[in-house]
């Protein structure tokens, strides 16, 4: 088969997108774009359309994959984000229908939508840092605590298989609130306020750690302890071969990872930092676009 798969890793502020040649499997084009997620319905969908057509160039599009944050109806390709400061104006609207209004040809292109963390987990499992591991928990730490559970190439969402509803740990009760309030950028802010008396964001904490600042190092050690404490119940119930750690906060893993390693290495669980979660998400989308067994999710 000739033509292109176009895949987009969609964030609130930016969209990373690439075009892969189906015949050779090589990435032909890649670029990063502003998401324009705070603008009108017309602007948001026109932006998606422009990204797709720029990557298409003169080739034929055989499928489009989107790695999307939630809440989102992944079966029907409808955004359910509201009151989150991103994509409010496209709430309840179908990507397929809206893009087809701009260009009727879009109606004939298969489209696939995956939760962004699931896409990352699948990509890493298929051909990334976690390749060769039969079962993994993917934990992406950034603005919140994203998660996905993979066993034998399948995304696991069923509580009967030892995972929380949808495979999402973010709203699990933890300490005085929920996991999302601790294993996140705002969790780091809160910890820094408690430990060093000022709220410092992750980048500044990271830079201070590079300079050997003991206060910043203490914040990250406490954060690592929270990560270990929060994830252990899921490790015990799912029993993965590996824990994949991605997201922006994974970039500072060197400063907080040892607290996690103390807990997991005794259980022979591999800890695998994923350095490029966006690229992994794209690989996950590509794998699913190629996978005929996932045809029911392609619209």
Nearest to 113 by CA among 100, 129, 94, 130: 94
Poorest-pLDDT segment among 38-52, 106-120, 253-267: 253-267
132-274: which CATH architecture? 2-Layer Sandwich (3.30)
C-beta neighbour count of 203 within 10 angstroms: 12
Q: Domain 4-117+279-297, CATH 2.70.70.10 — does that match?
A: no
User: Where exactly does CATH 3.30.420.40 map onto the chain?
Assistant: 4-117+279-297, 132-274
In this predicted model, what pLDDT tens digit does every residue of 153-205 receive, in sequence order?
Answer: 899 998 888 899 889 999 999 999 999 999 999 999 999 999 999 999 989 99
In 134-280, DSSP assigns E strands to 135-141, 145-151, 154-155, 173-174, 177-178, 242-246, 270-273
pTM of the model: 0.87
In this predicted model, what pLDDT tens digit does every residue of 162-173 receive, in sequence order?
Answer: 899 889 999 999
% the chain with pLDDT above 70: 97
49: pLDDT confidence band, cut at 50, 70 and 90? very high
Please give the full DSSP string across 86-113, using - where no structure is assigned: SSGGGTT-BHHHHHHHH-GGGGGS-EEE
Q: Considering the chain, what is the average pLDDT of its residues?
A: 91
Q: How far apart are CA 296 and CA 172, in angstroms?
A: 30
Region class of 53: left (phi > 0), else alpha (psi between -120 and 50), else beta: alpha
pLDDT of residue 268: 79
Please work out, in degrees rounded to the nearest 5, the angle formed at the alpha carbon of residue 162 by the alpha carbons of 160 and 167.
95
Six-digit token string for 2 = 């000739």
Please give the full DSSP string across 205-228, using - where no structure is assigned: HHHHHHTT-HHHHHHHHHHHHHHH
Q: What is the mean pLDDT of residues 233-262?
A: 92
Nearest to 245 by CA among 155, 139, 145: 139
The separation between CA 217 and the C-alpha centre of its own chain, rounded to angstroms, equals 26
pLDDT of residue 297: 59
Q: How far apart are CA 141 and CA 185, in angstroms?
A: 8
């Amino acid at each position: 088969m000739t033509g292109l798969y176009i895949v987009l890793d969609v964030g609130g502020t930016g969209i990373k997108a690439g075009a892969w040649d189906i015949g050779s499997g090589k990435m032909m084009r890649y670029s990063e774009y502003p998401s324009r997620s705070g603008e009108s319905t017309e602007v948001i969908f026109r932006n998606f359309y422009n990204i797709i057509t720029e990557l298409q160039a003169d080739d034929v599009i055989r499928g489009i994959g989107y790695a999307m944050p939630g809440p989102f109806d992944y079966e029907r390709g409808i955004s359910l984000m509201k009151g989150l400061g991103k994509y409010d104006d496209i709430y309840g609207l179908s990507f397929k229908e809206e893009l087809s209004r701009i260009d009727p040809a879009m109606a004939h292109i298969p489209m696939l939508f995956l939760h962004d963390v699931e896409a990352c987990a699948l990509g890493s499992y298929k051909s990334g840092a976690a390749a060769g591991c039969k079962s993994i928990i993917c934990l992406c730490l950034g603005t919140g605590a994203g998660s996905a559970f993979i066993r034998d190439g399948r995304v696991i969402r069923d509580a009967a298989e030892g995972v929380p509803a949808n495979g999402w740990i973010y709203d699990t009760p933890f300490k005085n609130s929920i996991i999302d309030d601790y294993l996140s950028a705002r969790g780091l802010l809160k910890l820094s306020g408690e430990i060093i008396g000022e709220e410092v964001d992750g980048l500044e904490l990271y830079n201070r750690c590079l300079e050997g600042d003991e206060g910043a190092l203490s914040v990250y050690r406490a954060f690592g302890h929270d990560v270990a404490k929060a994830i252990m119940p899921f490790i015990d119930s799912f029993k993965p071969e590996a824990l994949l750690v991605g997201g922006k906060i994974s970039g500072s893993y060197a400063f907080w990872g040892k607290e996690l390693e103390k807990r997991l290495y005794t259980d022979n669980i591999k800890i695998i930092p994923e350095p490029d979660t966006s690229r992994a998400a794209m690989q996950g989308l590509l794998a699913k676009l190629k996978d005929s067994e996932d045809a029911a999710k392609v619209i």
